[in-house]
Structure formats: C-alpha cells, structure tokens
Structure 1
C-alpha cells in the first residue's frame, strides 16, 4: 500500500538505525509530542533499537489524555440532561470523570452517541429539532478544522439546537511550557506531522532558537520516526538547532491555508487547562464571540464546574515526560484499561495504554525487537 508498506521496510530501518548508531557519541533525550508516534515507537520497539543513552521521552501528545477532568465532568453533566443528545468520538466514552464516565451516563439512560465526524452531530441536530445536540470537540490542531466547520455550518444554516463543548489545545505552547519547566530533560523534539499538515511550521523556528533545541517534523510509520530521530541527533551532535521537515509528503511550510482561515474565523486563542499539567497560557482555542450561541459551556451554564485531579493518578507526570508509564505504582495493578485512573490508560493514543497493550510492563524486560521484525 502506497505510503504504508514502504515506510515499514526492515532493510531501510536497519540502514537508518546503523546511521543513528554511527552518529551518536553521547546521551541525548528526545521527546515525541504525538500519541500516535508513541504507540508506533512502543509497538515496533523502536526505543529499544536505539543506541544506549539515546532516550525517547513521551510527551503530552494525546488529546484525549490532556483533556482536563473538569471538562470531562462538564460533559457528564450535559450528557445527563434528558433533553440532550450528546455526541462524541468513541475514545472519550471510557475516560474517567469524577466517579463515572460517559458509558455510565449512557447506561443510566443518557442519550450518548458515538459519531465519526462533527458533521454527523450537526445532521442529528437537524433531524431532531426538539432536542439539544452537543458535540464534544477535543483535540489538537488536527481535529479543530472540522469542528470549526461544523459550527460555521450551524451558523450558516441557523441550526440553533447544535452546540460544541470545546477542549482544543495547541502544540507550540505546550513545547514552550515543557522547556520552561525546571525539571525538563528534553534536548530535541519530534513534532507531530498531522498537526503541521494543518498549521505549517512557522511557529517552531522561534521555539528552536529560544530554547536551543532541534525540532524535526515527522510522521508515524517506523521509517518516519527513525528518520526524525536521525535528523535530530545529527543536529545535536553538530551543535545545531533548526526546524527540519522530515515529512514533506504531507507537510508544507504554510500548512493548509483554507483550514487555518476557518480556524481564525471560528476560534479565538485562550488559556487552557491540561489534565495533570495545569493551565498553559494561550494553549487552547475557544469559540470566537460571534459564535457564542453555539458554545455548550455558555448554553448549559457549566462554566463554573471545577474539580481536583485524583492523587493516585500520575498521568500528569507521564504527559510531561517525567515518568514512564511502568514506573507508576498503579500501572497494571489498580490502573488497567478496565479500571483506569486516568485517560492515558484508555485513550487509543495514551502512553499508558501503549505500554499495557504491547506488554511493556517493566521497562527493559521486553527483549528488543530485531530490525527484521519492524512491521
């Protein structure tokens, strides 16, 4: 399959690994800021094939995982109302709020539906004019354009029973927050290719210059990630810190100009809370004032709900790269996919879920994969 099989070629993987091994002369710490990349790294054992001392740190790249607990509780409150049809992507249904999740709300009679697009939710609103239809709009810059389009169309079509519960976050402010932390060990970043396919790369050079870190935009297949690592360590070894695009088949410098125009029209920047991390200034979007009528927080008066993160869940440390999932005392014991303490264990992009799914239960106890087994 074009752009899949050729980026999982074991012989090419071996060549890239040989180049990385020949380049690295000292320890380095790289962070991937994408849950899809994290799952690919753990699934294929990429981190165990790298030279000793070259560490891949898993960052806050899972949009479900960073959705703050109070947003989940607001979703649960809205979804519990008898006049509401609450629509969401499926990976949000098992994310724990305070004491329950959306699956439990549905089992108690709430009309909670899984959809595949915000436009599906808009269609449901048109078909059910007597009900309030809410779509849970979460994610990074990648999922924001279709959510913006749904609100834009609702306004254009005067669909007044549709609203969006917004929890959008942005990657560049997260990188800035990570690098500004006193505990940060990150020396280079693998930037998420799908985010850059929408937003382009113009926000990254200032970050690379300010913090002296290479930033390499890369994809999600094994060869994409290895090429990103190879470029990052070459920069580190030579003392450079620039932005490189290692994903040119999907990313151009200006991004998707039509999508960016839609985002600028519908959303406005705002401070946003990240689950387990806290509020990062200017790291999110909210609906612009002209679209306030389609803002679910405003419509249902849930903007005053506040909650406290459970002390037993250390997902915030995992999301900041301060802790590997298997280093958490609850991992695989009191916290499993069936009994999750936090979203990182149930999201399809969560680091804890990746470690559990691919049996990375004790750090290096899993034998490194041979290059021939890179799928």
Structure 2
C-alpha cells in the first residue's frame, strides 16, 4: 500500500537506528507532541529500540485528553436536556466528567449520538427542526477547519437549532508553555505532521530560535518517527535549532490556505484551560463575534460551571511529560479503560491508553539491540 508499507520496513528501521546510534554522543530528551505519534512509538517499541542516550517524552498531543473537565461537565449538562440531540465523536463518550460520562447520560435517556463528521450533526439539525442539535467541537488545528465549515454552513442555511460546544486548542502556545515551565527537560520537538498539514510551519521558527530547540515536523509511521528523531538528534549534536520538514509528502510550508481562511473567518484566538495543565494564554479558539449565536455555552447558559480535578489522577503530569503513565500508582489498578480516572486512559490517542493497550507495564527484559524493530 503506497505510503504505508514503505514506512514499516524493518531493514530501513535498522539503518535509521544505526545512524542515530552513530550520531548521538550525549543524553538528549525529545518530546513528540502528537498522541498519534505516542501510540505509534509505544506500539512498535520505538522508544525501547533507541540508544539509551535518547529519551522520548510524551507531550500534551491528545485532543480528548486536554479537553478541560469543566468543558466535559458542560457537555454533560447540555446532553441531558430533553430538547437536545448531542453529537460527538465516539472517543469522547467515555471521558469522565465530575460524576458521570456521556455514556451514562445516554443510558439515562439523553439523546447522545456518535457522528463521524460535524456535517453529520448539521444534517441532523436540518432533519429535526424541533430539536436543538449540539456538536462537541474539540481538538487541535486538524479538526478546526471541518468544525468551522459546519457552523459556516449553518449560518448560510439559517439553521437556528445548530450550535457548537467549542474546546479547540492550538499547539504552538502549548510548546511555549512547556518550554517556560520550571521543570522542563525538553531539548527538541517532533511536531505533529497533521497539524502542520493544515496550518503550515510559520509559527515554529520563532519558537525554535527563542528557546534554542530543534523542531522537526514528523509523520506517524515507524520510519517517519525514526527519521524525525534522526534529524532532531543530528541538530542537537551540531548545536543547531532549526525547523525541518520530515513529512514533506503531506506538509507544505504554508499549510492549507483555504482551511486557514475558514478558521480565521469563524474562530478567534482566546485563552484556554487544558485538562491537568491549567490556563495557557492564546492557546485556543472560540467562535468569533459574527458566529457567537452558534455558541452552545451561551445558548444553554453553562458558562458558570467550575470543577476540580480528582487528586488521585496524575494525567496532568503525564500530559506535561513530567512522568510516564507507569509512574502513576493508579495506572492499571484503580484506573483502567473500564474504570478511567482521566481522559488519558480512554482516548484513542492517550498515553495511558497506549501503555495499557500494548501492555507496557515495565521495561523489556531483552537488551535493546536484541529487539526486532517495527516488525
């Protein structure tokens, strides 16, 4: 299969690993920002195949995981109303709020529906004019264009019964927050290829220069990730801090101009809370004034909901790269996919879910050089 099998070749993986080993002379800590990359790394054991000098730190790249608890509670409050059809992607249904999740709301009679696109929710609004249809619009820059298009179409069609509950977040301000944190150990970044395929790379050179860290735009297959690591380690060893595009088959420097224009028309930048992390200035989007009538928070008057994170859950530290999932005492015991304490255990991109799914409970018994890469 083009652009898939080619990036899972064990022989090429060994060559890249050999190049990394030949290059590295001292310890380096790299962060992959995307949860999809985290799952690929854990699934294929990439972090265990690397030389010991190269450490991978899992970043806050799971959009479900960083959706703040108060936003989940707002979703639960709206979804429980009898006049509402609440639409969401499936991975949000088991994310715990303060005392329940969307599955429990549905079990109690709420009309909660899994959709595959915000445009599916838009069609529901057209078919059910007697109902308020709400779409849970979460995610990074990758999902923002489709969500913007949905509300743009709703306004054009005059659909007064369609709204978005928005919790969009942006990657560059998160990198800024990570680099300015007192406990930061990150020395280089693997940037999320799908985010850059939408937004381009214009926001990263200034970050790389100011914090003196390499930023390498990276894909999601094993060889993509190894190539991103190879380039990042190479820059660090040479004392460089540039932005490189290691995912050129999908990413252009200017991204997708049409998608960017749609985002800029519908959304405006705002401060945003990140679950387990806190408030990051300029790190989110909200509906602009021209589209404020389609804001579910205001239509259903849930702006005043405030919450506190459960003390037992250390997902915030996992999302900041301060600990690995296995460093949390609740991991795999009181916190499992069936009984999650935090979103990192139930999201398809969560680091805790990756460790649990691929049985990463401890370090492997085999020396790294004896392990089989990729295959």
Report the TM-score range of the alignment, normalised by the length of the smaller protein: over 0.9
The aligned residue for residue 194 of structure 1 is 194
Q: Secondary structure at the match of 1:97?
A: coil
- Superposition deviation, residue 55 in structure 1: 0.2
- Superposition deviation, residue 369 in structure 1: 8.5
The aligned residue for residue 150 of structure 1 is 150
- Superposition deviation, residue 209 in structure 1: 0.4
The aligned residue for residue 85 of structure 1 is 85
- Superposition deviation, residue 365 in structure 1: 5.3
- Superposition deviation, residue 40 in structure 1: 0.2
Aligned pair in 2 of structure 1 residues 361, 69: CA closer, same or farther (>3 Å)? same
How far apart, in 1, do the equivalents of 2:304 and 2:367 lie?
A: 49
Q: Secondary structure at the match of 1:354?
A: helix
Deviations 1:88-122 (A, max 9, x none): 00000000001100000000000000000000000
The aligned residue for residue 356 of structure 1 is 356
How far apart, in 1, do the equivalents of 2:168 and 2:191 lie?
A: 18
5+ unaligned residues in a row in structure 2: which ranges? Answer: none
Q: Which runs of 4+ in 1 moved over 3 A?
A: 363-373
The aligned residue for residue 166 of structure 1 is 166
Aligned pair in 2 of structure 1 residues 249, 105: CA closer, same or farther (>3 Å)? same
How far apart, in 1, do the equivalents of 2:365 and 2:315 lie?
A: 22
How far apart, in 1, do the equivalents of 2:367 and 2:355 lie?
A: 14
The aligned residue for residue 215 of structure 2 is 215
Q: Normalising to structure 1: TM-score of the pair?
A: 0.99
CA contact (8 A) 1:45 1:369 kept: no
The aligned residue for residue 319 of structure 1 is 319
CA contact (8 A) 1:326 1:363 kept: no
- Superposition deviation, residue 362 in structure 1: 2.0
What are the residue-to-residue correspondences of 1:229-308 with 2, within 5 Å? Answer: 229-308=229-308
Aligned pair in 2 of structure 1 residues 26, 55: CA closer, same or farther (>3 Å)? same
Q: Secondary structure at the match of 2:167?
A: strand
Deviations 1:105-155 (A, max 9, x none): 000000000000000000000000000000000000000000000000000
Q: Secondary structure at the match of 2:347?
A: coil
How far apart, in 1, do the equivalents of 2:175 and 2:364 lie?
A: 27
CA contact (8 A) 2:46 2:373 kept: no
Alpha-carbon RMSD across the aligned residues, in angstroms, is 1.1
5+ unaligned residues in a row in structure 1: which ranges? Answer: none
Q: Secondary structure at the match of 2:73?
A: helix
How far apart, in 1, do the equivalents of 2:316 and 2:42 lie?
A: 20
Aligned residues: 375
